[in-house]
A = this chain, B = another copy of it.
Amino acid sequence: MTKWVYPFAKGQADGRADMKELLGGKGANLAEMCALGLPVPPGFTITTEVCTYFTEHEKTYPADLKDQVNAALARVEEDMSASFGGKGGDGLLLVSVRSGARASMPGMMDTVLNLGLNDETVEILARVSGDARFAYDSYRRFIQMYGDVVLGVDHHHFEDLLEDHKDERDLTLDTDLTADDWKILVERYKEKVADQLGQPFPQDPHDQLWGAVGAVFGSWMNQRAITYRRLHHIPADWGTAVNVQAMVFGNMGDTSATGVCFTRNPATGENLFYGEYLINAQGEDVVAGIRTPQPLTILEKKTANTELPAMEETMPETFAELDGVRHRLEQHYHDMQDMEFTVQEGRLWMLQTRTGKRTVKAALKIAVDMVDEGLIDESEAVRRLDPGQMEQLLHPMLDPNAPRTLLGQGLPASPGAASGRVVFNAEDAEAWSDRGEKVILVRIETSPEDIGGMHVAQGILTTRGGMTSHAAVVARGMGKPCVSGAGGITVDYAAKTLSALGEVVREGEIITLDGATGEIMVGRVPTIEPELSGDFSRLMDWVDAIKTMGVRANAETPLDAQTARNFGAEGIGLCRTEHMFFDKERIIHIREMILAANEADRRAALANLLPYQRRDFIELFKIMDGLPVTVRLLDPPLHEFLPHGAKDVADVAKALGVSDEAIEERAKSLHEINPMLGHRGCRLGITYPEIYEMQAQAIFEACAEIIQGGGKVTPEVMIPLIATKKEFSILKAVIDHAAAQVRAEKGVALDYMVGTMIELPRAALRAGEIAAGDDGAEFFSFGTNDLTQTTFGLSRDDAGRFIQIYREKAVIENDPFVTLDREGVGELVGIGVERGRAARPGMKTGICGEHGGDPASVMFCQSVGLDYVSCSPYRVPIARLAAAQAALAQRDAKEA
């Protein structure tokens, strides 16, 4: 016989806290508290399996459910010395019927209180409580709730009747109504129900009970719940449990009360009891906000500077009992709890406990404190933090108490907050910045040409492009706040204005961006600086001790590299050399190279770039001081370096001493229909080997200088966009040749590796061949941005047009450019690792796409055995934490 019903009463319970799947979160914790001997109103839980049965069997129940419910109900009656239906004479049992799923779904599901009241039992309640007004108020609340939730009679019908009655009698507040008023209204409510349904309000308490149970189970499949589940990735087949529990009343006079509390402060994490309560009230009254809740403790009262008496003062004994429960529960659960309680005529009843939600800041403090208190160990502390939220700790944030005027909202593309004067192009940004002004660069969208302006800006705002647009990616790399795709804002480059909501902001006026929320505000909003020492630093030490994957950063500027080291990066996983070319004094040489008519002229232009590249590498190597540095050779198509717009063209033409037409002609000839799939990456290296030759020379000459200065450096030279082994072996020879030349010229021993990005499906499939032999790749770095683009056939730059609809229609759960698609892209990564390592045992593998900083993706990287992840500098701590959690999850899975 299947057990469908789990009773709890008198310190005994059939359920346990770890039975959430079967009993839901509320039911499991009620059973646990009961078994702990805490004062829980007796009751029972109908399991989630009944919900599944109910859904699958046209709203019917298993045959033996009724007997089990009746047996459990009898135990409650016995425990409460009261009768459901009031037949026994000595007491009346009323019950609450509440839903309780495995995951919390606040407000999504239905609840019925005071169940068991009818025309007869209301009189018993009046007699037992000695308060007819209370009894009839309870009855009319029950009819309204039951009518609404179970019978489908909309609550406005009841509210209208109440208002009419108040008008008739010239009454204002509910508290003005007497027992007789409620009696009259109870009759009218029942008439309304009979009128709406064509049959009377059910009087049999058992009918009422089954009606309510069916309504709760039915609510699992209502539209509100379905939508909520979809948004929160909760499977429909989990089902909800139903909790039937003896009613206790916090509204039976001044010795009764109800409240919610946290075992620690959920905002700051401080180990102080924290909560609110109301005297002579039911639970809904605390939530509804009609009466101002009072503080729980005297300390709170002082902090909040209120005159309202604390529970610690008004009910010192009950408070002490509650404080005891608080300590008991934390000791038992080893985590901060969020509890609900009711005091009925001086007696404390616990109605709920669950793990309390908290801010990131509080989560960090609680985790570290609990380690110090011996409640949890360091691994558990590491498990407790949400890496996705942690980024909030790393950036300045807006002062939550500061006033703000919202101008618009875009995507939260790169976290942090910043204020500055609006400028509309990169040149202006640099010019204003040179004058000492802080600026926000506002563009419709950004291109590599804007890098200089982005560097000097405090933050970036674009009106087009998604979370992985150029602006978003670069800003995250720089650790600058960015709001992208703010479609509601119109930019007029000519007039140098932006406008939204009828408001026009001109060049030079100040705006504030919140990159964590995507909000754009007029004027300056004060910010709060992050605090990275103390608890943060202690936690990160534990993280590093646990994680098994390395965490590197994607960085090319000294500033980024230094930031990354400060955040604990263990090397550079991706140095995009092309970013080194966009500087004003450099781009002219690369343009010269592009416009060159032959190899000799190309070489001459490249020779001018060599000193810059060498200097950049020397700086990077110095900052990284012996840690590995992966340098990716030139990747983007050459047309990205050409000027856009007549003025730019004219400037460049003048500087290079060629005609405007020559530049336009060249740009036209370089135009590509699908640049993502075009003449870029190693294809440039194959067609113009002199480019990679120069870059390799710069790398190795930089190494030589470091080594001659007594330093250590092991560059990992990375060839992008490999599709075939032959491409790799041709270019590896070019690099090896450059190394040999530098070695011979400078007389130093060079230690280096040559590897490739695996960013095309073909490269993943041919990984074995690409890794094999003396001319094979010595390391792989999975470029999951491009691998996602090619595996899905989806352009990052163009996906914005329909990805929103894809999410709405639930075609995809996550943006695959944010969280790695395990099933498709992930299989290719797995194949790449496996075949690569089969050909070259122990081969070093990593990931350098945007996914390197995404916790879910980091988990995947651990599962396929990558050696490291690499991400933008500001995501390094997040990746470290995610890597530690991934290591713990893997360890747990092995032990299981």
Contacts and interface: CB of A to CB of B under 8 A. Distances in A.
A798 interface: yes
The winner among A727, A794, A805, A823 for most chain B CB atoms within 10 A is: A794
A764 to B, nearest CB: 9
Interface stretch (A155-163, A312-320, A679-687): A679-687
A793 B686 contact: no
Interface string A517-554: 00000000000000000000000000000000000000
A678 B721 contact: no
A809 B765 contact: no
Interface in A710-753: 721, 723-724, 726-727, 730
Interface in A670-692: 672-679, 683, 686-687
Given A765-B827, A805-B686, A811-B730, A793 B760 contact: yes
Contacts of A790: 677, 761, 790-791, 793
A506 interface: no
A679 B793 CA distance: 10
Given A686-B802, A811-B727, A672 B721 contact: no
A801 B766 contact: no
Contact of A802 (B674, B679, B786, B825): B679
Contacts of A761: 761, 790-791, 793, 824, 828
Contacts of A811: 686, 724, 726-727, 730
Contacts of A786: 793
Nearest to A723: B792
Given A761-B828, A791-B790, A806-B686, A798 B723 contact: no
Interface string A811-837: 110000000010111011000000000
B792 A823 contact: no
A802 B677 contact: no
A616 interface: no
A323 interface: no
B802 A687 contact: yes
A810 interface: yes
B795 A677 contact: yes
Contact of A805 (B687, B795, B798): B687
Contact of A674 (B679, B724, B759, B798): B798
A873 to B, nearest CB: 27
A797 interface: yes
Contacts of A827: 765
Interface string A759-793: 11110011001000000000000000010011111
Contacts of A672: 795, 797-798, 801
Nearest to A679: B801
A769 B823 CA distance: 10
A810 B805 CA distance: 45
A727 B793 CA distance: 14
A673 B828 contact: no
A475 B825 CA distance: 36
Nearest to A676: B674
Given A724-B812, A762-B821, A673 B795 contact: yes
Interface residues of A, number: 49
Contacts of A806: 683, 686
Nearest to A825: B762
A824 B730 contact: no
A766 B811 CA distance: 14
Nearest to A812: B724
Contacts of A823: 765-766, 769
Given A679-B798, A805-B687, A806-B686, A723 B793 contact: yes
A792 B762 CA distance: 6
A807 to B, nearest CB: 11
Interface string A478-489: 000000000000
A873 B727 CA distance: 36
Interface in A620-650: none
B677 A760 contact: no
A842 B433 CA distance: 68
A819 to B, nearest CB: 14
Contacts of A730: 809, 811
The winner among A675, A686, A723, A726 for most chain B CB atoms within 10 A is: A723
Contacts of A726: 809-812
Contacts of A676: 673-674, 677, 793, 795
Contacts of A793: 676-677, 721, 723, 759-762, 786, 790
Nearest to A761: B761
Contacts of A721: 793
A828 B674 contact: no
Given A726-B810, A811-B726, A678 B828 contact: no
A782 to B, nearest CB: 14
A639 B108 CA distance: 43
A797 B723 CA distance: 18
A851 to B, nearest CB: 16
B762 A802 contact: no
A805 B686 CA distance: 8
Nearest to A793: B760
Contacts of A673: 675-676, 795, 797-798
A136 to B, nearest CB: 53
A100 to B, nearest CB: 31
Nearest to A813: B726
A766 B683 CA distance: 30
A139 B766 CA distance: 58
B760 A791 contact: yes
Contacts of A789: 677
A813 to B, nearest CB: 9
A777 to B, nearest CB: 16
A794 B790 CA distance: 9
A748 to B, nearest CB: 32
Contact of A723 (B674, B766, B794): B794
Contacts of A759: 793
Nearest to A724: B811
Interface in A823-861: 823-825, 827-828
Contacts of A765: 791, 823-824, 827-828
A683 B790 CA distance: 16
A811 B727 CA distance: 6
A685 to B, nearest CB: 11
A727 B792 CA distance: 12
B762 A798 contact: no
Contacts of A687: 802, 805
Contacts of A812: 724, 726
A443 to B, nearest CB: 16
A675 B805 contact: no
A810 B723 CA distance: 14
A677 B679 contact: no
A41 to B, nearest CB: 45
Interface string A259-282: 000000000000000000000000
A678 B762 contact: no
B678 A675 contact: no
Given A759-B793, A811-B730, A824 B766 contact: yes
A893 to B, nearest CB: 24
B809 A686 contact: yes
14 contacts: A673-B675, A674-B676, A674-B795, A678-B798, A678-B801, A679-B798, A686-B805, A723-B792, A726-B810, A730-B811, A760-B791, A762-B793, A765-B824, A790-B791
The 10 closest A-B pairs by CB, nearest first: A677-B795, A762-B824, A674-B795, A678-B798, A761-B761, A760-B793, A673-B797, A674-B676, A674-B674, A672-B798
Interface of A: 672-679, 683, 686-687, 721, 723-724, 726-727, 730, 759-762, 765-766, 769, 786, 789-795, 797-799, 801-802, 805-806, 809-812, 821, 823-825, 827-828
Given A683-B802, A723-B792, A723-B793, 20 more contacts: A674-B677, A674-B797, A677-B789, A677-B790, A679-B802, A683-B806, A686-B811, A723-B794, A724-B811, A724-B812, A727-B811, A730-B811, A760-B792, A761-B761, A762-B792, A765-B791, A765-B828, A766-B823, A766-B824, A786-B793
